[in-house]
Amino acid sequence: MTPLGLYEPGSSLVHRAPAGPSLLAVLVFASGTVAVADPWWLAAACGLVALGFAVARIPWRRVRPLLRTLALLAVLVGGLQWWLLGADRAAVIMLRLVAAIGAATLFTLTTRVDDLVSAVERGLGPLRRFGLDPERTGLLVGLTIQSVGTLAGIAGQVRAAAKARGAGGSVTAFAVPFMIRTLRHADALGEAMAARGWGDRDDDAEAGRETPPR
């Protein structure tokens, strides 16, 4: 399962928090980590995220992929920043990433996609007068989150199949099947959206612009 995994059922206070305010809190929290440059404050922010996972009672099987991702970031991104900017700056950057990614992961694990989509639609409702379509924006947010989980699942299946064939270390054995299955998923998603009428309004509007008045 993806480190930015989908909803993990639960009845904790974090699970019961409304999707709209929770999303706003995550955005403010992530923005705050960018504004703060003190490693001690950033470490406290990471501790706050860890406390959120504990309060939400997220099972270890969902936390382990996140820790693997953060460890990989520490090696790749943190090592590069250490070489370019020094240890202190690298520590600040890594703490920012850990806090922001951890908060986003906790949000997606404790918030249903349908609730998030509804919150986005309600929050953007007043912008309809300026030409923004809240329903389409909400659908885009929901599809983005679901696609993260779907693509991670595809990657896991392709990796397992490559290992079963004895080609676990081959980049080609992973990349080619992953790309093919990803494109198939995109085609199926496009067909499903077309079957539900998404895109018809754009086609009608385009036809209206191209048809000269009589």
Query: In the predicted model, what is the mean pLDDT of the chain?
Result: 79
Q: Where are the alpha helices (DSSP H) in the chain?
A: 13-16, 19-35, 39-56, 60-73, 79-85, 87-110, 113-123, 134-164, 171-195, 200-210
* Closest-CA residue to 140 (of 207, 189, 183, 105): 189
| Distances in whole angstroms, Cα of residue 107 to Cα of each of 78, 130, 175 | 24, 29, 30
Query: What confidence tier does 4 reach under pLDDT thresholds 50, 70, 90?
Result: very low
Query: What confidence tier does 13 reach under pLDDT thresholds 50, 70, 90?
Result: very high
pLDDT reported for residue 74: 78
Query: What confidence tier does 157 reach under pLDDT thresholds 50, 70, 90?
Result: confident
Calculate mean pLDDT across residues 82-96.
88
Query: What confidence tier does 69 reach under pLDDT thresholds 50, 70, 90?
Result: confident
Which comes out higher in pLDDT, residue 65 or 59? 59
pTM over 0.85: no
pLDDT reported for residue 149: 63
Calculate mean pLDDT across residues 183-202.
70
Which comes out higher in pLDDT, residue 178 or 93? 93
Tokens of 169: 């270390």
pLDDT reported for residue 205: 47
Amino acid at 159: R
* Closest-CA residue to 29 (of 18, 13, 45, 17): 45
pLDDT reported for residue 204: 47
| pLDDT > 60? residue 214 | no
pLDDT reported for residue 198: 64
φ, ψ of residue 69 in degrees (nearest 5): -65, -45
pLDDT reported for residue 86: 86
Segment 30-49, tens digit of pLDDT: 899 988 889 999 999 999 99
Segment 116-154, tens digit of pLDDT: 888 888 877 777 787 777 777 777 777 766 666 677 667
CA–CA gap between residue 67 and residue 43 (Å, rounded)? 16
